[in-house]
Amino acid sequence: MEPTKDQKIWQVVLLIPAGKVASYGQVADMAGLGRQARYIGRALGKLPPGHSVPWYRVLRSNGQIAFPEGSPTFLKQKELLEQEGVEVISGKVQMRQFRWQP
């Protein structure tokens, strides 16, 4: 059976090494979707239960988390990133040292 776009996106996200992060545009390009950065978030929203996809390693192009501060999802992502060793400040990540595939 053919893998769907969502599956492809999840596969790309799985390729992100721990301790590093990637932007939606980066993932979209690697998934072969080009400029569909917005679809990435939507696909991650479709993630099934019991998944092992490090969706929390996907951030905006400027290194900021895509959720509003104070949201449970935001807090969860921040916690997971810090657990990976990524420094999160004011909802932003020091992508100067954590940018994936320069």
Partner DNA sequence: AGCGTGACTAGAA
Partner DNA sequence: TTTCTAGCCACGC
Quote the Cα angle for 86-90-93, to 5°: 30
* Binding region for DNA (CB under 7 A): 5, 23-26, 34-42, 44-45, 47, 55-56, 58, 60-62, 66-67, 73, 77
Of 45 and 102, nearer to DNA (C-beta) is 45
What is the spatial distance between Cα 82 and Cα 75, in angstroms, rounded to a whole number?
Answer: 11
Q: In this structure, how many other beta carbons lie within 10 angstroms of the beta carbon of residue 38? A: 12
Of 4 and 17, nearer to DNA (C-beta) is 4
What is the spatial distance between Cα 32 and Cα 10, in angstroms, rounded to a whole number?
Answer: 13
Of 20 and 41, nearer to DNA (C-beta) is 41
- Rounded to a whole number of angstroms, the minimum distance from the CB of residue 33 to DNA is 7
